[in-house]
Structure 1
C-alpha cells in the first residue's frame, strides 16, 4: 500500500523558552504540517551544550492538549530511560489525551552524556539494541492490558539503519521506519529490510518509509534527493528546526508535498 506523502517537523527541545516552543508548534499546525516531533534528550545537541533544554515526554503532553489535528511524538524516545511498561502507559495516555494522534517513535539511544549524567548504563550499541528488542513486545503486550486500552493501534516508528539488529527490529515491530541514509545507501538498506521482513513473515508494504530532509540553502529544497527518495517509496519527509526559526524551509516542503499529491 502506498502511503500519502506527509511532512513531519522536529522542533528541538533546546535553546528556547518553552513559550517559544509552544508558539512554534502552533504555527506549524496552522501551516498544515502532518506530524510534529520533538527529541528525547536531556541536554542540547548543538550550540551551548549547557543551554536551555526541556524534557521530551512532559512536553508531549502539552503538545497533545495544545493541538487538535497533527499527529505528534518523539523522534525518537530512548528506550533505556524508562521501564517498558511505563513507556506503554505513557504512550496510551497521550493517545487518549490527543484523541488518537500519538506516534510512538522509539530507538535505543546514543548520546552518552544523557546516560552518564542521569545515571543510566550506557552499555554498547549492541546491548542497547538488545534491550529495545526485548522491551517492544512488553510494550505492545502492556497496551492490551491497560484500562482503557489505546484508542487505536498506536503507530510504532523506529529510527536507524543498522543491518544486523535495527532493521530486524523494524521488520518485527515498526509501522514507520525512519532512515538517515542518502538515496543511494537507502537502496541497499531497503534490500536488507526486505530480507528481514521475509525472515519474520512480514509484508514490507505494511511499513511506511520516512527520511530526514536537508535544505540546499535558506528555504531551498534538494528536489533531486526528494524525488529519488519518493521513487524508492519514502512518503514521510522530516525536517528539523529550532523553535522560533524561519519556517521558509517548512513552507517549501509543504508546497512540494502538495505538488506531489496533486
Structure 2
C-alpha cells in the first residue's frame, strides 16, 4: 500500500503543573501542521522529577478530541491491565465520536511497574502481561463490534511493542498500525518476522502501517524507504518545545509527493 508520510507529536502529560500548558501545546501542534497528537498512558513521570506533575490519559483525550479539528489523536500507548477491556472499548468509542472519527486506539501490554504498584494493579511478569493483553484485545474488538452506536470509524488499532514471538503475532491478528522502538536494521528484521506471522493468519503485512519515534531528518529517509510512514516526536512539559516537530514537518513536506490533508 502507498501511504503518505505522517508526523505525530506525543504531548507527554508530565512536568506540567497546569493543564493549560498541555492545551496550549496541542493547539500549537495542530497549528504547525502535525498529523497526529498522541499522549501516553502513565500515572507518573517517566523522566525528570519522578514525583512531578502528571495528568491522566483518557480524560485528556476527551478534551483533545473536543479542542482539535483536523488531527488524529490517541494514546501512544494505553497500558495493559489498567482498565477493564470492555470499558476501555466503550471509552474509545466515545472519544471517537467526540472527535468525529479521528481516534487511533493505541494499545500495549504495559511495562512501567510503578504505575501498577501505586494504583493497586497486579504487575506480574512480562509473560503474564502479554497473555492478559492478548485476552484484552479479543474483548476490546468484540465489544467494539457490539456497541450502539459503533465507532464513527474506521478506528485504527495501533499496537506498540516488538516481542517477536507473541507481540508481533498480536500485531498480525489485530493491528492497523505497528509502533516499535527500532533502528533500521532491527526494523527490517522484525518486519520479516511480522510478515511470517501475517502469512500464518492469512493477512497481507502491507495492510499494517509502520510507526517509529522520530529519529531526526538524517535517519528518517532510510526508515521511510524501509516502509515507515508514521514518525512521532516526543515532547515533555512544562515548556513543550516543538522545534523538533517543526523540523520533522519540514522533512515530511519535502518527502511527500503531495501534502497530507484531512485525517488520512
Say what the alpha-carbon RMSD is for the aligned residues. 0.9
Tell me, yes or no, if the aligned pair for 1:239 and 1:250 is still in contact at 8 Å.
yes
How far apart are residue 200 of structure 1 and its match? Answer: 1.0
Which range moves more in the overlay, 47-56 or 143-152? 143-152
How far apart are residue 154 of structure 1 and its match? Answer: 1.1
Superposition pairs of residues 96-175 of structure 1, within 5 angstroms: 96-175=97-176
How far apart are residue 144 of structure 1 and its match? Answer: 1.6
Once the two structures are superposed, residues 38-63 of structure 1 have per-residue CA deviations (whole angstroms, 9 ceiling, x without a partner) of 00000000011000000000000100
1:186 aligns with 2:187: yes
1:253 aligns with 2:243: no
1:238 aligns with 2:232: yes
1:12 aligns with 2:12: yes
Tell me the distance in 2 between the aligned counterparts of 1:252 and 1:48. Answer: 28
SS in 2 for 1:79: coil
Unaligned runs of at least 5 residues, structure 2: 258-264
1:68 aligns with 2:69: yes
Tell me, yes or no, if the aligned pair for 1:2 and 1:233 is still in contact at 8 Å.
no
How far apart are residue 3 of structure 1 and its match? Answer: 1.3
> 2:80 maps to what in 1?
79
SS in 2 for 1:103: strand
Once the two structures are superposed, residues 90-128 of structure 1 have per-residue CA deviations (whole angstroms, 9 ceiling, x without a partner) of 000001000000000000100000000101010111111
The runs of at least 4 aligned residues of structure 1 exceeding 6 Å deviation read none
How far apart are residue 183 of structure 1 and its match? Answer: 0.6
How far apart are residue 222 of structure 1 and its match? Answer: 4.0
SS in 1 for 2:212: strand
How far apart are residue 153 of structure 1 and its match? Answer: 2.3
Unaligned runs of at least 5 residues, structure 1: 215-220
> 2:197 maps to what in 1?
196
- TM normalised by structure 1 equals 0.95
SS in 1 for 2:51: coil
Tell me the distance in 2 between the aligned counterparts of 1:120 and 1:138. Answer: 19
Once the two structures are superposed, residues 231-261 of structure 1 have per-residue CA deviations (whole angstroms, 9 ceiling, x without a partner) of 1100001110014232221111001001111
> 1:36 maps to what in 2?
37
How far apart are residue 79 of structure 1 and its match? Answer: 2.1
Tell me, yes or no, if the aligned pair for 1:39 and 1:74 is still in contact at 8 Å.
yes
Which range moves more in the overlay, 71-80 or 141-150? 141-150
Tell me, yes or no, if the aligned pair for 2:217 and 2:247 is still in contact at 8 Å.
no
- TM normalised by structure 2 equals 0.95
Tell me the distance in 2 between the aligned counterparts of 1:192 and 1:222. Answer: 27
> 2:262 maps to what in 1?
none
How far apart are residue 74 of structure 1 and its match? Answer: 0.3
Tell me the distance in 2 between the aligned counterparts of 1:133 and 1:200. Answer: 15
> 1:213 maps to what in 2?
214
